[in-house]
Amino acid sequence: MALVREIGFAQAYSFKYSPRPGTPAAAARKQIAEGVKDERLAELQALLREQADAFSKRCIGQEMDVLFQYRGRHEGQLVGRSPYLQSVHARAPETLLGRLSRVRMTGTKTNSLAGELLGAVAH
């Protein structure tokens, strides 16, 4: 946890340990109880969520190149990834799917950013 606090993450994936057959750790006699693993993972994920939310808030007003990957839930909306792998939702034409486009970040949502399309990035 101290290392996670020191580094500060924009985004991270975390999982609790599970034994893998044939590994030395799986054969160890002393294993951590599932309840303890669950508590530790919850604590870690809460800290990571807090850091990701703070990072996303600092992105508001910034311009970033976004790679649009798929259609969003709303008409005329595309979803892409920022250079920090955050999901970014913006109104954009489907012709930008698979392309980098300049986007100004305008707000945060749960696990993503909202943005305003500025233009396609020259290749």
pLDDT number for residue 109 = 87
pLDDT for 54 beyond 90: yes
Q: What is the domain partition of the chain in residue ranges?
A: 2-59, 63-120
The pLDDT value recorded for residue 50 is 95
Residue 56 — very low, low, confident or very high, per pLDDT cuts 50/70/90?
very high
> Average pLDDT, stretch 65-84?
96
- Asked whether the predicted pLDDT for residue 58 surpasses 70, the reply is yes
Confidence of residue 122 (pLDDT cuts 50, 70, 90): low
Please state the pTM of the whole predicted model. 0.80
CATH number of 63-120: 2.40.50.140
Per-residue pLDDT at 61:
97
What is the rounded CA–CA span in Å between residue 77 and residue 109?
A: 15
DSSP-H helix ranges across 31-106: 34-59
pLDDT at 111 (0 to 100): 86
pLDDT per position as a tens digit, 6-18: 999 998 889 998 8
Task: Give kind and range of the element (H or E) at residue 109.
Answer: strand 100-109
CA gap 106, 30 in Å, rounded? 50
Collapsed DSSP state (helix, strand, coil) of residue 1: coil
Amino acid, res. 108: T
Q: What number is the average pLDDT over the span 90-107?
A: 96
CB 11 within 8 A of CB 84: yes
